[in-house]
Amino acid sequence: MQKKKKSKRLGYLMLLPALAVILLIQIYPFLDGFKLSFTNSNLLSPGKEKFIGVQNYIDILTKDKEFYSSLSFSFIYAISIVVFSYVLGMLIAALLNMNMKGRGIYRAVILMPWVIAPMVMAANWLWLLNDQFGLINHVLMELKIIEKPILFLTTRYMSRFTVTMIGVWKNLPFMTITLLAGMQGIPGELYEAARIDGGGKIKSFFYITLPSLRSVSKVSVTLLLIWAFNGFENIFLLTEGGPSGNTMVLPIYAYNTAFFRSKMGYASAASVLMLLCMIVLCLINQKFSRNNE
């Protein structure tokens, strides 16, 4: 007994450094941000910070049009990314799960959009989508699909479509790889039995593969929803939220409010609201996936 107690203390001690980092660098700033959201803290007038109660929240919710437009595009953006990545990821995972030579190479290639620096990828997309020298416009024109170059990132609806599709492109690898991992965990006997019973490949996909992937799907969809909703870099590096705020999402809106307009308190309140929206989104997602069972 004495010995067991002693050894547990070792466990606590080993946890200590990580706990200290998490408390100091994640939890403390988080709580501080919460506090900040009830003040009029402004970078331009340091030291004149005053407690103003829920005034920031009232201002955002009653007057701030930009907040609402960012909020709605944030929802559309995150949900589209999850839906498209899930469907496409499922198809690609099913493809890669077939008996093929060189699977490791395909897997490495497919992971690229996910692991290469967002800045590098954004720069290359800007180049590919360029209206004068971009490869994509060039190919589409050669094929006579379009007559004039498409302005991918500078018109209202097109820019929203483009940043969302690049978001899908970026998150597809994660979905594909986790779903593929899930598929590889399904015992082969199940398919064997289905074949003996005379079920076709498509039937066994719907009756064996999909149900077996339920828990993997739940985890990866929730994670992706959170990442997409909190995502800053993808859109920021492509359009900075433009043209004229059309691709503005909440993280970029909060960033601009804090670091361009210097309104730290106001931006913190917006971030707290962002967290609340995300929690709501996750709850809806959970309810939805439970109904499906």
Binding status of residue 109 toward another protein by CB under 8 A:
yes
Beta bridge pairs of residue 51: 39
Beta bridge pairs of residue 39: 51
By rule CB under 8 A, what string of x and - marks binding of each residue 28-47 to another protein?
A: xxx-xx--x----x------
Binding status of residue 146 toward another protein by CB under 8 A:
no
* 161: nearest Cα among 191, 129, 114, 132: 129
Give how far Cα 208 sits from Cα of 43, 91, 183, 253, 278, Å. 57, 15, 10, 44, 32
Binding status of residue 256 toward another protein by CB under 8 A:
no
Interaction with another protein in 223-242: which residues (CB under 8 A)?
A: 223, 226, 229-230, 232-233, 236-237
Interaction with another protein in 50-89: which residues (CB under 8 A)?
A: none
Long-range contacts for 120-124 (Cβ within 8 Å, ≥24 apart)? 121/170, 122/233, 122/234, 122/237, 122/238, 123/237
By rule CB under 8 A, what string of x and - marks binding of each residue 185-204 to another protein?
A: x-------------------
**Residues sharing a CB contact under 8 Å with residue 214, sequence separation 6 or more, in sequence order:** 293
Size of the site for another protein (CB under 8 A): 89
Binding status of residue 280 toward another protein by CB under 8 A:
no
Taking the complex as a whole, how short is the minimal distance between the CB of residue 156 and another protein, in angstroms? 23
Binding status of residue 283 toward another protein by CB under 8 A:
no
Decide whether 119 or 210 has the Cβ nearer to another protein: 119
